[in-house]
Chain A
Amino acid sequence: MATPRTSTSPTVDRPAALPAVAGKLPTLRRGSAASDAKPLLPHRDPFWLVAHPDRWTVQGGQVVPYLDEVPLTAGVNGVETAYNRETGETFIDTDGLESNLRTKGAIPIPWDVDAQPYIVEPAPGCWVTRWARPTPGSSYVEYDTDGYLAWVASLQDRGLLPRPQRRHLEQLAQATRFDLTHPNTAADKIRTAQLTAILTVLETALETA
């Protein structure tokens, strides 16, 4: 009578030694970690953050001013490069830009509003806000939204930025309701959840406004 065969796991052919072709294992150069790489960020000129009394948004559960990044690029919105004959230095002349912004009621936030400027240069020629966290070797940028919102709140506390009026809250709520009721949004659970959260913030703010 034949002995029943037992089932065995398939054997794996393992090399007796490391591949002969390589000769030796390749070694990584020290200091070649990804953290040595620079962020892959495009050129961006320095900029001002600019608020406007009629521009508001909901971010991080708060109604905050929408801050536009206005580049201090020569040729944009009246920015010019100028030459100081006394010092021999070239500088960015923002008089035209500031005039254009203030004419329409915009509020440019100066860099020296705090001891630490709100823009930094993590890679040569690339300026971002100090709440940006560039990733070495990548174009991905993480943002410290909580830090940013705390800074915006501090500007409001110091009276440098306004607080929203009731009409702003109503306009935002109306636009959000319109978005929520659109058939496309209704079919999109993620958008519906996001907008519902925004609307809750606005309705809460309206109750206390």
Chain B
Amino acid sequence: MDSILYAGIADLRTVEALSNNFLSLATDRNALPLHPALVYDGDYAKRGTKARKVPHIGWGGYDRPQVVADGALVPRTTLTTGSTTVAVARRSKSYAASDLARFTDPEGGILNAASFANEAAAAHMLALTDLIASLMGGFSNTAGSTGTDLSLANVLAALTLLEVGSKSAIPAGATMGVLHTVQAGDLRTAIATASAGALQWQAPAEQLVIKGNGYRGTYLGVDWFASDYVRTANSGADRAGAIFVRGAVVWADMSQQAEGADQFSIAGKVLFERDREGRSATTDYVSHSYFGASEGLDNHGVSIITDA
């Protein structure tokens, strides 16, 4: 009697069954948090423009009083000014799924409105991270050497440049460091091998919750974050991370209000809508957000350029 072999019961088995699990393709899903070092210029909704000018003013002791002889006229002080323009721009994405694709989706599948909405919320928050990370290489002050790994000496040099440039001390919790993942790894290695481990990398669990998963820890008063969105420099030889204090980066967003039954607003910042094309039995799941970020005070940040 023949054995019942898998190969002989093709009518009773499918070639491949669909697993209830799925594996997410690799990408950096860590959205940078709303850290005190980031200046939020507010919600641009209902302000009559998509762009605003954020003034820089030499105020509050920027110009010191001059010594003037008794009876002499004091020269008028010139007010020093500058500005940063922040413009919000639209970001959108759309997944279209046919009815046949949606209705054959198994339990736990992703082709449903709730999954598309969750995906949209995550994707749009990463767009803001992308904006902020792309500013890191632009500061005039730099530390690090092309083609060499980030070191503690680079961080110490950057901190001094930051203090000199911003004319301020580095208050704990008010300084943000955004490095590429490779740079953050180099920093961890440098700390781990320094002083026989006397210097510790601190990233308590409660801080991870507050600051986001990209948070790598606090060291020398700087909250360090790692992001794959940090760009390359010097034709790919390096990565351009940075440390900065409040004033270096200004960002803004624009709230959106849902109007129709097929729309809803996610946290006020992402408009998610369902767009039905009945004739083709296809549904689009569309989402939009409006974010903008600009470099503010150049000397309030230091780019850290090290090996990629």
Contacts and interface: CB of A to CB of B under 8 A. Distances in A.
Nearest to A75: B89
Given A77-B294, A143-B237, A145-B235, A185 B153 contact: yes
Nearest to B152: A184
Given A66-B305, A80-B50, A185-B151, 7 more contacts: A50-B138, A54-B140, A131-B236, A148-B234, A182-B151, A191-B148, A198-B145
Given A57-B234, A132-B236, A145-B237, A104 B87 contact: no
- The binding surface of chain B is classed by DSSP as mixed
A70 B303 CA distance: 13
A76 B86 CA distance: 8
B153 A67 contact: no
A187 interface: yes
B84 A55 contact: no
29 contacts: A57-B142, A57-B146, A59-B237, A66-B142, A66-B305, A69-B137, A70-B134, A70-B138, A73-B134, A76-B134, A76-B292, A76-B294, A78-B86, A78-B87, A78-B294, A80-B51, A80-B87, A81-B90, A96-B51, A100-B84, A131-B235, A143-B236, A148-B235, A178-B153, A178-B157, A183-B195, A184-B190, A184-B193, A191-B151
Contacts of A128: 236
Question: Which of A79, A99, A187 has the most chain B CB atoms inside 10 A of its CB?
Answer: A79
Size class of the B contact interface (CB-based, 8 Å) = 35 or more
Interface of A: 42, 44, 47, 50, 52, 54-55, 57-59, 64, 66-71, 73-81, 96, 99-100, 103-106, 128-129, 131-132, 141, 143, 145, 148, 175-176, 178-179, 182-185, 187, 191, 194-195, 198
B179 to A, nearest CB: 16
Contact of A195 (B82, B89, B145, B290): B145
A42 B298 CA distance: 28
A209 to B, nearest CB: 19
A182 B153 CA distance: 6
A75 B85 contact: no
Interface of B: 27, 50-51, 82, 84-91, 130-131, 134-135, 137-138, 140-143, 145-149, 151-154, 156-157, 190, 193-195, 228, 231-238, 240, 290-295, 298, 303, 305
Question: Which of A75, A179, A195 has the most chain B CB atoms inside 10 A of its CB?
Answer: A75
Contacts of A187: 193
Contacts of B134: 70-71, 73, 76
Contacts of B305: 57, 66
A67 B235 contact: yes
- The binding surface of chain A is classed by DSSP as mixed
B89 A79 contact: yes
Contact of A194 (B87, B141, B147, B294): B147
Contacts of A141: 236
Contacts of A55: 140, 142, 303
Nearest to A52: B140
